[in-house]
Amino acid sequence: MAKLFEPFTIREVEFKNRIVMSPMCMYSSHNENGMVEDWHKIHYATRAVGQVGLIIVEATAVQPQGRISAQDLGIWSDEHIEGLAETVRLMKQHGAKTGIQLAHAGRKATVDGDISAPSAIAFDDHHKTPVEMTVGDIQETIQAFKQGAIRAKQAGFDVIELHGAHGYLINEFLSPLTNQRTDAYGGSAENRYHLLREIIDEVRTVWQGPLFVRISAYDYTDGGMTAESYIEMAQWMKEQSVDLIDVSSGAVVPAKIDVFPGYQVPFSETIKAGADIATGAVGLITTGIQAEEILKNGRADMVLLARELLRDPYWAYTAAKELRVEIPAPQQYARGWMF
């Protein structure tokens, strides 16, 4: 059996394979109140039919001012639970495990009104200058993540991922390029980790299931974070019972990135070996052979696909053919010729 199609278990949750749909914003809450629309239900359920083992729903804002855009999903209100629960039900009936990425956009939010960040530094000339968060603001946001976790549990998700990557709020606290605070939340690596530490602790009081954290392991800028400097933080995450680190990179500051197939996989490999923690690899992974190499060589424990699953919702079948593996198909397809 190809490793890509071997089951993988975390905290008694068994994923039928190592294929993960990476969270990708759909910008489809057209009423701007963060509600699930028909598009979300169809979009995510289709990938479940396509035999993706774990589907992580897009960055879902824990506070209204923390949305990347006004069309993002929200989880800041109990009113969001019903739509999310229906989306979960549709995915699970096809055998997929379900995850949700809890997020706050920080200084990269593009909603109306004030936006907040660890320091009052704009991302670029096209973004607003954020308001530096007070300690009270920080504590309110930590509680918002906790409440988001409670609602995620009520909606029936199997996995929670905390979005600590791509230049959004948690990432802004972690990187010295964006965190110039002089209080307990800035300065040393331990202080810059303080926000994430408190979020994990609070989430773990209400969530006993698999917990992932997505990080940007390399800032592509002098003085920024590298995969090697993230090892210490990854060790802290492991001590706090984080189960897997989803290793991406970039986007905390504007930077030129040399993008090529598998360009982020070495970051996953570094974190996995250095912190002895499970990792997910991302970044232009497009073929079954490529995914199998990553897993067989111990460079990651799960493989996350983004754009490739937009192009081909049935990528798992494509990969299975490539690796000469037979995988089950929905009974509706069983009598057909397609697979």
pLDDT at position 163 is 98
Q: What's CA 328's distance to the chain center, in Å?
A: 27
Query: Residue 329: which pLDDT band, with cuts at 50, 70 and 90?
Result: confident
Is it the case that residue 338 has pLDDT exceeding 80?
A: no
Query: Residue 335: which pLDDT band, with cuts at 50, 70 and 90?
Result: low
Summarize pLDDT for 106-128 with one digit per residue, the tens. 999 999 999 999 999 999 999 99
User: Whole-model pTM above 0.85?
Assistant: yes
Those residues whose C-beta lies under 8 Å from the C-beta of residue 173, and which sit 6 or more positions away, are: 118, 179, 185, 186, 192, 193, 194, 195, 196
User: What's the mean pLDDT in 65-73?
Assistant: 97
Summarize pLDDT for 274-291 with one digit per residue, the tens. 999 999 999 999 999 999
pLDDT at position 333 is 81
Is it the case that residue 228 has pLDDT exceeding 60?
A: yes
The mean of the pLDDT values for the chain is: 97
pLDDT at position 330 is 85
User: What's the mean pLDDT in 162-187?
Assistant: 98
- Sketch out the chain's domains with CATH numbers: 3-326 (3.20.20.70)
By C-alpha distance, which of 229, 214, 231 is closest to 171? 214
Is it the case that residue 339 has pLDDT exceeding 60?
A: no
pLDDT at position 328 is 87
pLDDT at position 31 is 86
By C-alpha distance, which of 325, 311, 239 is closest to 275? 239
Are 313 and 50 a contacting pair, CB within 8 Å? yes
Share of the chain above pLDDT 70, in %: 99
| 3-class state of residue 56 by DSSP | strand
Is it the case that residue 337 has pLDDT exceeding 60?
A: no
What does the block give as tokens for 198? Answer: 């408190």
Query: Residue 104: which pLDDT band, with cuts at 50, 70 and 90?
Result: very high
